[in-house]
Structure 1
Amino acid sequence: MWDRQEKIERNPILISDDHRNSNPLELRSLPELIHEKASLYPDKVALRFRDYAITYQKLNNSVNQFTRLLADYGIKQGCIVGLAVDRSPEMVIVLLAIIKSGAAYVPLDPEYPQARIEFMLEDTKAGFLITEEKYGNRFHYEGKLILMQDLLRQVQQYATSSPEIDIDMDNLVYILFTSGSTGKPKGAQITQRGLVNFLVEMQYEPGLDENDRVLALTTISFDISGLELYLPLITGAEIILTDAQTSKDTRLLMEIVKKEEVTVMQATPATWRMMLESWEERLPIKVLIGGEALSKRLAERLLEKCDSLWNMYGPTETTVWATYKRIYADDEIITVGRPICNMHVYILDTYLKPVPDGTVGEIFMGGVGVGKGYLNRPQLTAELFMDDPFSDIPGARMYKTGDLGRIVNGGEIQCLGRIDHQVKIRGYRIELGEIEHTLGKQKGIKDVVVLPKDERLVAYVVLEKDQHPRFAQWQQALRTTLPEYMIPSNFVTLPAFPLSPNGKVDRNALEAMRQEMEKANRVYIAPRTEQETLLADIWAELLEVDQVGIRDDFFELGGTSIVAMQIMARLERETGKRLPLAGLFTANTVEKLARQLELDDLSISWDLLVPVKPTGNKPPIFIVNGLDMNVLLFNNIARNVDPDQPVYGFQSKGLNGVDEPFETLEDMAAEYIAALLEKGFTDKYALAGYSYGGIVAFEMARQLQAMGKQVKMLAMFDTYAYNRGHFETGLPRYIRKIKRQFPKLLFVTGSLMRQPMETLRYQQAFFQRKYNEFAVYMGLQNPQPVDSAEDKINEKYEAAYRKYHMQPCDACVIDLFRVDTRLYFLDDPIYLGWKPYALKGLVVHNVKGNHKTFLMPPNDKDFAILLQQLLDKRMKPDADT
């Protein structure tokens, strides 16, 4: 092994944690380490199961007896033994006996389908299968079948002394099957040396001692069970073993944690989320989490309840967990930390060259934990297990994980998802290709693609000609060969798959296509009440559809912000009730909106801050609407940003027709900030404003900065900043107006040539508005009455803008989104007047569309993608503001 200094000199991208300088060649076997603890703590409880407890001495003696008994059955070093038994103390003892005999075990969860277990037995050529009487006739198996009940009857006649067996540390200790992309699971081969190195390192960090009590809830078919079953026994700690049913019920698990005073528990994020539902008081427990990405929000929730939180990472092929990181509440980036001792991580490009810190590459792993490859898969083994060019140890290999990552925080690993189509659902690693292969063999299916969605699997199916869907039959067929976590919960039939330009299935377009199909095939449920009938008729007319059912989604029917305004205006005329446009975010069906109409006026929410899309773990963005006051327009952004990106909007005060609008722009910004602070968001903000709303967002940034808050992003959605002309009087005012007429004439002439109809319509409306203003000024006509709440707000807000003195601000860089199609003249078409006010800098981003259309289809998608990229960049902890 190189020491840390040598590694840094040779290659700064290599990461390894050799702080203890342990020598993998000197590691003792797992049975030796357990025997040592049994001698040290003979009367201490080693394992509890329900009301049963077994001491270290009793456990070790039983393992010795079972090892001798298995030897008489012919199980010895180099053998492969299948194990399909229920969770019990005997399961643990037999596992340890197999290991002590020098053989390798194949964990077979009895709940797995018969065909899958039989494939594993056949693929491993397991010479022995240890199972229970109730499973004895279930499997078609040609090797030697050993029943647990027979072992229990025979074992007492064997000596309790430790048999003399010289275990080869480079021999296999287990073969664990993971999902396979070719339609068959593949067996990862793990060595005794790799397992012991992992266990010894876990004793140090996250750390375990003889006073700990570890909850063992994971099926032995999941490699992380090795930590729960073996780590306590080499430490002198106590195992609290659960049965299969309890392991699936997080309420029961929480009861056991409290009752048994568990101090260490490991689980996937999905399990921890469910545990939190029944977790009340803070507990003195060390939480280990892995198997899926750990979100910032979940980390925060767990840290409120536990003593410490450790994020773990490692593919099955590199022996359970290969890296670890203690997570703290103030961590800006969630990482998986650094490798355990005798393991290394490399971030490489497609040419297997190290990439610089901060650059994304593929994660490769080297060290003693790297397994021997896949059983009976020489081609796949050669592809993913390769010579380690960064190691001085002869024969050293590294594993190509297929995970993207980068080095941050001076040497920590940040995981960024999968390169291929392998996914993790509830902690289980799944090759989607295996499900597709199996499903594709079913009758009537021509083609199939499986994708993950919200912790579940969705199968998209193209049927053979004249065939009909058989969802229930397909699921039943899958259950004969696949475990439950690999069964799609949803099936969507499509006439054909969308293709990318290179002729491959465009997986990203499948979800949009599903929504279109559901819209076309939605189930019609007729209105039941007078209110529902009124709403359904209005929706049908304004959305221009034949009929609207009470559970049809407004947005899926093609609802836009403009149509929403028309609907609400019609409703006010028909019912006398005024509803907020923002209400359509939650009351998005006729059924829900009818309930809103039935509420008393006092129950209807006109909050300033509107949750357009409140879900997600990324920092939220807060958008201020323009003078159209249509916050629903931001739904186009929310539907196209990342699923994990929350979006909030502000709606104007006074929209309910009762409250008075703000008198000054400063008051407006202050009230919007108060609405933010009331909700308890963080002290780092991403602000944006559309048109007039950009000026309000600018003032909000100024006020937030004065409060000591940090504005990380300030985005202007086609906002023009120039308003000095409102304060000019006399000759300077007229000189400025005269000077701009010639460039304005040139602009209008060019616009007429580029887009004649749009320009004529705009200029006609402009001159009509100017004529009306002049006629009112000269007394030729009366002012238009201000009837609607929107008109009243507009009048107040325009006055507030004319009174607002803009001052330069250094809160952060200003991102200016500038449309590429302009129908009206601007004095500063390049920077839209922002250059003098952006003391930290101004970045201009061109977007498609004009001032009205750049946030609408089809431009909204490209706009949202650009916005998300900037959000991710600006909201990074190390981003320069």
Structure 2
Amino acid sequence: MSTEVHINNKNSYNDTFAAYPKERALPYFLNKCALLYPDKIALQFHGRSLTYKVVYENSNKLASLLINNGIKVGDIVALALDRSPEMVISLLAILKAGAAYVPLDPEYPKDRIEFMLDDSSAKILLTSKKYHKHFQSEATEILIEDALEKIKTYSPDEPQISVSGENLAYILYTSGSTGKPKGVQIRHFNLVNFLLSMQKEPGITAEDKLLAVTTISFDIAGLELYLPLITGAQLILTNSDTAKDGRLLFDLVREEQITFMQATPYTWRMMLEAGWEDYLPIKILCGGEAMPKDLVNKLIHRTSALWNMYGPTETTIWSALKLITDDEYITIGKPIDNTQVYILDEALNNLTDGSIGEIFIAGEGVAKGYLNRDDLTKERFINDPFGEIPEAKMYRTGDLGKIRENGDIQCLGRIDHQVKVRGYRVELEEIEHALIKQNGIKEAVVIAREDTPGDPRLVGYVVLIDKENQTELKRSITEWQQGLLSVLPEYMVPDDFVLMEAIPITPNGKIDRKALPKPDYNIITRQGEYVAPRTDIEMQVAEVWQELMGREKISIFDNFFEIGGRSLVAVQIMARIEKLTGKRLPLATLFEHSTIEKLSLRLNVDAKSITWESLVPIKPKGSKMPLYIVHGAGLNVLLFNALAMNMDEEQPVYGLQAKGLNGIDEPLDVMEEIAANYNAEIIAQNPDGPYALAGYSLGGTIAYEMARQLMEMGKEVKMLALFDTYAKQTDIYDPFLKRILNRIWLFIMKLLYSFVLFVEDPKRTIEYKSLIIKRKIIRLYWRLFKGKEEKQEGFFAYDNEIDEASAKAKRNYFQKPINITVDLFKAKKKTFYMADFKYLGWRKFAMKGVNVHEIPGEHNTIFAPPNDKEFAVVLQQCLDRVAQTK
């Protein structure tokens, strides 16, 4: 008999009713499957294979032993075992005994585990000889080795006890804002509804082989361990060392022909960096944190299916899912069976019109609440006003979201200070609570920064009781990290620390987290005096810098930009380093690794782990509206560094570099696709806007298309700044005769204007025209001989390919007028003919008008000193003006 649960809702995406046996506990489905596939391999672990019959009988026996040791339905049993078949059998046995389990990862800090044991009032701790008497608690300790020896004489039959869907299945502890973890109580019917829904979508069959990589202290392990075992599929379990090594995981997936795997974006990146290039017939689930666009682009062509998963622990693992395809926004899709997702405002009004609100989740997955935390349960689990079941609850997630036109739910990040790091949910207050207890710290604030896209890092900002010298500080940071590791998991320990005189405060008295500066990785080094290279690689890099920058000595701690480094010499440096080391680094590497020491450390990293994302943080610090600048035809974003550094201290600036600079990714040759790729990275970093876009030369046209697309999405574009960009409409759609006549006319005008330029400045005109001719010869040569192998080697190997793709995109782009104001920054000195010298062709495209700002220099020197300072002042004034407009 099935208990039908149905909630009527005016939102069609929430009409997720599916009948299921709510009264049945999980062991019913495990046992049923085991009896159906007795001789099939159920569980495999590094050379060991166990059939469904063996797993079924051993878990029954161990359940009987627990019952004989006083365990009753509703009791709590804690489990602290290394990843192994015995761990899986023990979990099944606890459930079959009618108890709820508390999963304890032995690698977690001892104090944290002991808190969980005490808070849960666990009656038994099931562990191994390895951890015998390691944890202090009131629980009776049973060693798995002794238990397995005792149960050899036990009956293999199922224990005759009554476990219902209302009974607790597990209590899983998550990070807590009070400094202590909080236990989430999940009932059997919560778990059963989830697993049965997952059986249908994403879908799993008895022929699948699922690779389980997640620690049991992370709730998503519930899918990995139980979904295959209620389906007849094969569960491949890894040990913790393999789960942390992308190379070993990748090898295991290929060798075992895995068809189903779930992991966080962090794990998928590890596997990609391990050399995953070819297609694998594997269905993958990605969740735990936002799925970046670049990761989608890499995974989608390498797998049979890519699913984006979403859900907090409090609503049982995953609550919404989405099959990701090439041409879609990355959303979390729609709710799973018997689940409702609402977007509500502060007054709990249902926002079905696409407005942004907080995500609330209702339905069969909602947990019973937090163990021993009635106050927090009442705060987070509130009455569901939209359902028809009396006293039904919905969970306040703290995530922002909205409903898209197609009914998909889009998650837009956190409201509070809870963050995701490597897939783990982290309460920053818990880290701060632990950090303030460390020696010498008076105040502490922790935030997650993503200065490098795709690499979120925890940063601790501390105010000391007494100031320390640099040597003592270095020792103190080491001590703080060691102290935190004794009470927090490794993923919750900050990577970097910043010393503050005082924590910045907003006018209303709250901590101003946006004002917290980017870490200065030189904080504990000496400044102002020469420090010689200490390693061979530092010596190599120092020699290159000194030669190409014309300096006799450069300290390993000298900043490239502060000692006069410019984009042209940066290109030369990177080209020379690639020739010497064989490693190709993005030019933008110098923003984050601007000293010989840092660049040398970067060169020691595996080449496959080097990031080539388009979005580059040039100057990410600051509380003002960020400015995003698109590269010009030269593809170089280092040009914008001097401009950024001369702008307001609180003005964040990001650059956008071309896709394909690494020689692996295919360069894009359609303007709309280039703009969409850059927008995706901007939105992933800054989902809410508003946006200030800029582009130099060709980049101005790309920025224009980006603005058009963002506006179509309903995003607010506060500013579109074009740096000496001419709006030349493509003529490929014109009649042939008209096109030929126009081109002849343009050629004549350019030739005539060249004589004017020659009279005004003969030397500069010859230099400029020579450069143009040289570029055209290189491009023609590349087109004719691009198939030759030698053209695909060296630092400049792919620049011509990208340059040609960009030129093609420009040639084919039909520019449409949009309802926007353009701020045109026009070089005072002319270097080429233009049909419209005043507005550079933008009046017919910018429907709200063109604001013209003349800046010193010519097209190629507007970013060079001293022009950069005046340019920066004018640009900052414009940004501040538009930021204040409504």
TM-score by length of 1: 0.71
2:59 to 59, 63, 70: 63
Native 8 Å contact 1:312 1:321 kept in 2: yes
Alignment correspondent of 2:302:
305
Is the CA contact 2:101–2:169 (under 8 Å) kept in the aligned structure 1?
yes
1:789 equivalenced with 2:777 (yes/no):
no
Counterpart of 2:125 in 1: which secondary structure? strand
Percentage of matched positions with identical amino acids: 42
Whether 1:371 and 2:367 are equivalent positions in the alignment is yes
Instruction: Tell me: CA distance 1:48–1:515, structure 2 relative to 1, closer, same or farther (3 Å).
Output: closer
| 1:502 to partner: Cα distance | 2.7
Question: 1:91 Cα shift?
Answer: 1.1
Shift of 1:549: 2.8
Task: Please state if 1:646 is matched with 2:646.
Answer: no
Aligned ranges 1:656-735 → 2 under 5 Å: 679-684=667-672, 685-686=674-675, 715-717=720-722
Work out the number of aligned pairs and report it.
Answer: 724
* Structure 2 residue 282 is matched with structure 1 residue 281: no
Native 8 Å contact 1:690 1:718 kept in 2: no
**Who is 1:88 aligned against?**
84
Q: Distance in 1 between matches of 2:598 and 2:374?
A: 61
Counterpart of 2:513, as a letter, is R
Q: Distance in 2 between matches of 1:865 and 1:408?
A: 32
3-state secondary structure, aligned to 2:251 = helix
SS at match of 1:553: coil
Task: For residue 411 of structure 2, give the secondary structure of its aligned residue in structure 1.
Answer: strand
Alignment RMSD = 5.0
Matching residue of 1:352: 348
Task: Give distance in 2, aligned partners of 1:200 and 1:384.
Answer: 26
Deviations 1:487-514 (A, max 9, x none): 1222222222233333333222222474
Instruction: Using the TM superposition, give the Cα deviation of residue 217 of structure 1 relative to its aligned residue in structure 2, in angstroms.
Output: 1.5
Q: 2: CA distance between counterparts of 1:217 and 1:584?
A: 34
Measured after TM superposition, the shift of residue 108 of structure 1 is 0.4
Q: CA deviation at 1:235?
A: 0.7
Corresponding residue of 1:493: 499
Provide the residue aligned with 1:478 in structure 2. 484
Shift of 1:43: 1.3
Query: What is the rounded CA distance, in whole Å, between the counterparts of 2:822 and 2:386 in structure 1?
Result: 46
C-alpha distance in 1, partners of 2:111/2:204? Answer: 39
- Shift of the 116–537 alpha-carbon distance from structure 1 to 2, 3 Å rule, reads same
1:253 aligned onto 2:249: yes
- What's the offset of the Cα at 1:327? 0.8
Please say if 1:154 is aligned against 2:164: no
Amino acid at match of 2:150: Q
Alpha-carbon distance between aligned partners in 2 of 1:549 and 1:783, rounded to the nearest angstrom: 41
Deviation at 1:246, TM superposition (A): 1.6
After superposition, the C-alpha distances for 1:99-122 in whole angstroms (9 at most, x for unaligned) are 112111000001111111001111
For 1:184, the equivalent position in structure 2 comes to 180
Distance change in 2, residues 1:523/1:847 (3 Å): farther
The amino acid that maps onto 1:511 is P
Q: Per-residue deviation at 1:558?
A: 8.4
Gaps of 5+ in 2: 450-454, 534-538, 573-585, 601-612, 620-625, 679-691, 709-714, 729-755, 776-812, 830-835, 857-866
Change (3 A) 1:522 1:867: farther
Taking structure 1 as reference, are residues 75 and 823 closer, same or farther at Cα in structure 2, changes over 3 Å only? same
- 2:171 maps to 175
Q: Which amino acid aligns with 2:500?
A: L
1:321 shift after superposition: 0.7
* Residue of structure 2 in register with 1:762 after alignment: none
TM-fit CA distance, 1:88: 1.4
Aligned-residue offset at 1:787? 8.3
Is contact 1:612–1:634 with CA below 8 Å preserved after alignment?
A: no
2:457 is the alignment partner of 1:456: yes
| 3-state SS of 2:444 partner | strand
- Indicate the larger mover: 291-300 or 450-459: 450-459
- Bigger mean CA offset, 514-523 vs 141-150: 514-523
Indicate the larger mover: 346-355 or 449-458: 449-458
The question of whether the paired residues in 2 share the 8 Å contact of 1:209 and 1:236 is answered with yes
Which position in structure 1 is the counterpart of 2:816? 811
Q: Name the aligned partner's letter for residue 275 of structure 2.
A: S
Cα–Cα, structure 1 residues 817 and 162, in superposed 2: closer, same or farther, change >3 Å? same
Q: CA deviation at 1:264?
A: 0.4
Matched, 1:109 2:105: yes
1:842 alignment partner, one of 844, 847, 868? 847
Name the aligned partner's letter for residue 71 of structure 2: I
Over 3 Å counting, the alpha-carbon distance change for 1:585 and 1:391 in structure 2 is: closer
Tell me the equivalent position of 2:439.
443
Q: What is the one-letter code of the residue matched to 1:7?
A: N
Matched residue type, 1:460? Y
Question: Offset at 1:848?
Answer: 10
Residues 416 and 560 of structure 1: is their aligned pair in 2 closer, same or farther, counting only changes over 3 Å?
farther
The equivalent position to 1:16 in structure 2, one of 14, 26, 37, is: 14
Where 1:511 maps in the other structure, the secondary structure is coil
Q: Which stretches in structure 1 are left out of the alignment for 5+ residues? A: 540-546, 570-581, 596-609, 650-674, 706-711, 724-772, 798-807, 825-830, 871-881
1:201 is aligned to 2:206: no
How far is the alpha carbon of 1:565 from its aligned partner?
Answer: 9.2
Q: Aligned pair in 2 of structure 1 residues 84, 517: CA closer, same or farther (>3 Å)?
A: closer
Mapped partners of 2:694, 2:63: distance in 1? 77
Out of 124, 128, 131, the residue aligned to residue 128 of structure 1 is 124
Aligned-partner Cα distance in 2 for 1:441–1:406: 40
Q: Which has the larger radius of gyration?
A: 1
Where 2:28 maps in the other structure, the secondary structure is helix
Q: Secondary structure at the match of 1:137?
A: coil
CA distance in 2, matches of 1:630, 1:136: 58
Picking from 305, 322, 343, the partner of 1:325 is: 322
| Cα pair distance change 1:642/1:294, threshold 3 Å | farther
In the alignment, the residues of structure 1 paired with residue 291 and residue 496 of structure 2 have an alpha-carbon distance, to the nearest angstrom, of: 26
Report the CA distance between 1:622 and its aligned residue: 3.9
For the structure 1 residues 140 and 691, does the alpha-carbon distance in structure 2 shift closer, same or farther, using more than 3 Å as the test? closer
> CA-to-partner distance for each residue in 1:210-241, whole Å, 9 max, x for gaps?
11111112111111111111011111111111
| 1:310/1:326 contact within 8 Å kept | yes
Give the equivalent residue in structure 1 for 2:687: none
Output the CA distance in 2 between the equivalents of 1:34 and 1:363: 33
1:507 correspondence with 2:513: yes
Is the contact between residue 460 and residue 493 of structure 1 (CA under 8 Å) also seen in structure 2? yes
Corresponding residue number in structure 2 for 1:632: 639
Of 38, 45, 49, the match for 1:42: 38
Q: In 2, Cα distance between the equivalents of 1:722 and 1:795?
A: 22
**Cα 1:860–1:430, aligned 2, differ >3 Å: closer, same or farther?**
farther
- 1: distance between equivalents of 2:438 and 2:275? 41
Match of 1:54 in 2: 50
How does the TM-score come out when normalised to structure 2?
A: 0.71
CA distance in 1, matches of 2:89, 2:248: 25
Counterpart in the other structure of 1:263: 259
Q: Tell me, in whole angstroms, the C-alpha distance in 2 between the residues paired with 1:7 and 1:219.
A: 37
Q: CA contact under 8 A between 2:630 and 2:702: conserved in structure 1?
A: no
Instruction: Report the residue type matching 2:722 in the other structure.
Output: F
CA deviation profile, 1:22-71 (whole Å, cap 9, x unmatched)? 23564522111111112211211111112222221222111211111110
The letter for the 2-side match of 1:680 is L
Say if 2:700 and 2:723, in contact at 8 Å, map to a contact too.
no
- The answer as to whether partners of 1:625 and 1:692 remain within 8 angstroms in 2 is no
Which amino acid is the alignment partner of residue 509 of structure 2? Answer: G
Find the residue that maps to 1:842 and give its secondary structure. Answer: coil
Task: Tell me the distance in 2 between the aligned counterparts of 1:254 and 1:842.
Answer: 53
Q: 1:423 Cα deviation (Å)?
A: 1.1
Give me the whole-angstrom Cα distance separating, in 2, the residues matched to 1:171 and 1:43: 31
Q: Deviations over 1:405-451 (max 9, x none)?
A: 11114111111111111111111111111111101011101111222
